[in-house]
Chains A and B, each alone.
Chain A
Amino acid sequence: MKEHPKEHSKEHLVKEYPVINPDILRTENIIKTYKSGEIEVEALKGVNISIKKGEFTAIAGPSGSGKSTFLNLLSGLDRPTKGVVYLKEKPISEMSGNQLSDFRRDHIGFIFQSYNLIPVLTVKENIEYIMLIQGISEGERKKRVNDILHAVGLMGMEKRRPSQLSGGQQQRVAIARAVVSRPDVILADEPTANLDSETANNLIDMMRSLNETKGITFLFSTHDKKIMDRSKRLIILKDGRIDSDKGLPDQLSL
């Protein structure tokens, strides 16, 4: 597992020479069609969107509106039938299987509705996993794990297994796992759906704080009004198309 060099150098360039905030993710007229026997279902019907660094965006919409399909395509878990998905202007649709794996490893963080931690690994090992496959050194991993455990309020729980944690704590670990590898964007699928209201609020606060203090880009698929209210941008999908896009930032501060 070799360390994957990341493009951190761009950050100081941006600080020295203010430029227009570039797109992290951009879709170009993407269409996704599923076949079910003889029937073809068009889940996405030409979606154009661009996500910039530092966004805290929620994608909402009724069931069947295409949210899941859209996130799958943005994360490289699935390929569009037509159209292109760009990450930092690189078309990910043309990547091979291994390139896509590396792309997800290095550029995308995932937060799942059901947390989806690896049950046989401890909190620390779950958080560390992606860094391990990135080939990050032990010292660096240890430092990052400590930092993130502190940030998500899980200090002292690093040796616990997921089954020994509450739902909220598990989702904190999932957030820590997504954040710690320093991806360009974190895709979160209904992250508060399985949590009680108070825990959900705390988590939203935490993610918002990470967004504001560390500039981490979040993209949610959600039904949760609390997330929609706290998001900087709200995209509504309906019948495979963007129905509305409120709070579209021209230039988000870094």
Chain B
Amino acid sequence: MWMLIKLAWRNIFRNKRRTILSGLAIGVGLAAMMFADALIVSLGETMVHSATVNFSGNAQIHKKGFLKDFEVEKVIADNYNNKLLLNLQKEELIKSFAPRVVSYGMLTSTSDANNIMLYGIDPEMEKKVSKISEVIIKGTNLDTNLNIKESRKILVGKKLADNLNIDVGDRVVVTVVRSITGDLSQEMFRIGGIFSFGIREMDENIAFMNINVAQNLLNIGNNIHEIALNFKDINIAAQEKLPFKEKYSQNGNETLGWNKMFKDLATILNFTQFSLFILTIILFSVIAFGIMNTLFMSLYERMFEFAVLRAVGTRSKLVATMIIYEALILALISTVVGIIIGVIFIYIFSHQGIDYRGIEYAHLVFKDKIYPHFRLIQFIIYPLCLIIFTMLVGLYPAFYAASIVPAKALRKTF
């Protein structure tokens, strides 16, 4: 076996230029796959981050079915005296959370009226979950620790403000349907601030007020409709069989990760993963033909030698094994080259970032650069696939070399 490996090694380096060029070509293919993986995974994470960091959090707790109709009565169960919120404070997986009241409503200005999604929020707790406080472009955030009578501020999105022709300090009327009675409730508020998330749906349809004011307006006591959560590890949020989710999905409640809250996004990410898979197949195919071409070029030059090897008693299996070794050596060299190139590129772009800012994709606007990052899979799965794939591809030339009829190949001599 050692002799075969030695033979294969020397054969591979018989034509150094060809081996170097082939190794580079295959290595660049591997590096491209590693980089594509790093980019697409980062792109996905950035999309999830963009979708969840602004407002939603990466998971939410609701009364089951609340997200379908936003009925005021569907308040989170088992939260008497904020029991659920107190429990959440003790959860090790949770980084931050914020309770919310949510309802359809109408916002009326002196010039127009608009349907809105009204959110009652705790401004202090929201700072740890969402970016509301960071996206106020005019006016100020909601005040905290004020009683209901003092807290008459409301925040609206820029587009909503434009549509209703309102500005900070203007008076507006909020109309909602009260719980239990179903009566309409109207109260007057002043525009305290105007925000801009840069996401059209949010800037056009959402208004924020203090949670206790909203609870009073909707007649739901201390109940809440939603708890937005941020896990310490965002990837946990999408796990289906998470004990945390089971624990907080009892008594009619449900805990949804971002993948259930943003089904379109989850679909797009799955599609992106599938695209990566297709890309991998294409790149592997290109690599495969490259390897096969190299092996066959090398093989055709040595037909006579194979015939001699067979003539002096080398079994066809040994000849095939030697070709497989040659493929393996080429794969190992290419893998090293590919990993080096891949690491360099990923390292550079993981620091420089790729500027997707301002680009809207799948209803999301990228606000940050995308920073491709390293994953273990890039250094294990792809190189391993390359090596296995190369050896599989090497089977054809190996079989070809093994099936040489020595008498025919040697006919020039004998």
Contact = CB atoms under 8 A, between A and B. Distances in A.
Contact of A133 (B304, B313, B406): B313
Contacts of B170: none
Contacts of A106: 313
Contacts of B6: 125
A104 B312 contact: yes
Interface string A112-139: 1110101111000100011011100000
Contact of A68 (B304, B311, B411): B411
Contacts of A121: 7, 10
Contacts of B311: 75, 77, 104, 110
A221 interface: yes
A226 to B, nearest CB: 20
A71 interface: yes
Interface in A62-100: 68, 71-72, 75, 77-78, 97-98
Q: How large is the interface on A (under 10, 10 to 19, 20 to 34, 35 or more residues)?
A: 20 to 34
Interface residues of B, number: 25
Given A77-B407, A104-B313, A129-B3, A189 B413 contact: yes
B407 A118 contact: no
A77 B314 contact: no
B40 interface: no
A119 B15 CA distance: 12
A209 interface: no
Contact of A114 (B314, B407, B413): B413
A28 interface: no
A147 B231 CA distance: 77
Given A68-B414, A78-B407, A189-B414, A101 B308 contact: no
Nearest 10 interchain pairs by C-beta: A105-B313, A120-B10, A78-B407, A77-B407, A68-B414, A104-B313, A116-B308, A101-B315, A72-B407, A77-B406
11 contacts: A77-B407, A78-B407, A98-B316, A101-B313, A102-B313, A105-B312, A113-B413, A118-B305, A118-B308, A125-B3, A125-B6
Interface of B: 3, 6-7, 10-11, 14, 304-305, 308-318, 406-407, 410-411, 413-414
